[in-house]
Amino acid sequence: MKKPRGAGHIASFGPFSVDLRTGELYRGGQKIKLQEKPFQVLSALLERPAELVTSEEFRGRLWPADTFVDFDHSLRTAVSKLREALGDSAERPRFIETVARRGYRFIAPLERRAGQRPGALPPPARVMLAVLPLENLTGDPSEEYFSDSMTEEIITQLASLNPHQLGVIARSSSMRYKRTDKGLRQIGEELGVRYVVEGGVRRAPDRVRISAQLIQVSDQSSLWSKSYERELGDVLTLQKEVAQAIAKEIRIKLVPQAGLIACSRDAKA
């Protein structure tokens, strides 16, 4: 495995930042204590995000050939301590995925950049947001597909904003919270986001009403909410139009926090 280079030695994911050069882990700018072996595991995973790092590769990197150690147990212990520091779990991983009998993989979106000055680690630059599954308010299970596809379209439109300043949690992660009884604060901590979008869909024979609101996780206050009512026609066009309008509103609301977020295209209200 390659050693970290000076450029791009700071990696950010979710609410965390890692200085690969100094061996420091931060959450929201606050340093988190992490032992050497767990940090070496994290460093190895961050060097090859989304790729499998095998157990044998960890052995060669973390334990020299002349070291006598129960390797499998030691690696599992290091990964367990790392997950504990990140608030992650093996059963529902957000950052580190176990590949049975083979190794581990880092699965979260990752951003790399150079540090601003030696010994200083700025907090993550991006505002992180999750779109929770829109609720099907019709009471008809056959209409579930419409609310799910509307959720996916909103995620797509929000992700088309500047990803360096506004990070949007992937659909595969946010859809796990469909019909969950977890509170917004817990969801925000698990996903590492500061804001969530939630809402619902209600359909009549020839019309549809889609509601959405932007919520700040820290105090669960609503920053923006709006309902959109449209005639049913071309469903895909309707969903895209409403999702673009929602993305435009959210972009405007988050500009003070995220800086000048440029939309990739104009959205119709």
User: Model confidence over 196-238: pLDDT tens digits?
Assistant: 999 999 988 888 999 999 998 888 999 899 999 888 877 788 8
Q: Higher pLDDT residue, 230 or 70?
A: 230
Structural domain of 205: 127-258
Whether the pLDDT of residue 38 is over 50: the answer is yes
Tell me the per-residue pLDDT of 240-266, one tens digit each, with 9 for 90 and over: 888 888 888 888 777 544 443 333 333
Tell me the per-residue pLDDT of 119-170, one tens digit each, with 9 for 90 and over: 444 444 568 899 999 999 988 888 899 999 999 999 998 888 877 778 888 8
68 within a domain of the structure (yes/no): yes
* Shared domain check, 250 and 171: yes
In this prediction, residues 9-15 reach a mean pLDDT of: 83
H helix intervals, the chain: 36-47, 55-62, 71-86, 144-159, 171-174, 184-191, 235-258
Q: Which residues of 151-181 are buried (b: 16+ CB within 10 A; e: fewer)?
A: bbbbbbbbbbbbeebbbbbebebbbebeeee
* Shared domain check, 175 and 132: yes
* Shared domain check, 140 and 244: yes
* Shared domain check, 103 and 49: yes
Residue at a domain's end among 58, 89, 113: 113
Q: Can you tell me the distance from the alpha carbon of 88 to that of 94, in angstroms, rounded to the nearest whole number?
A: 6
* Shared domain check, 94 and 213: no
Classify residue 119 as exposed, middle or buried by CB count within 10 Å of its CB (0-12, 13-18, 19+).
exposed
- Is 102:72 a contact under the CB 8 Å cutoff? no
* Shared domain check, 193 and 98: no
pLDDT score at 77? 93
pLDDT score at 5? 42
* Shared domain check, 99 and 42: yes
* Shared domain check, 250 and 140: yes
* Shared domain check, 92 and 14: yes
Residue at a domain's end among 113, 145, 166: 113
Residue at a domain's end among 49, 80, 113: 113
pLDDT score at 115? 53
* Shared domain check, 102 and 139: no
Q: What is the CATH number of the domain that holds 35?
A: 1.10.10.10
Q: What is the CATH number of the domain that holds 158?
A: 3.40.50.10610
* Shared domain check, 106 and 133: no
Q: What is the largest CA-CA distance in the chain?
A: 74
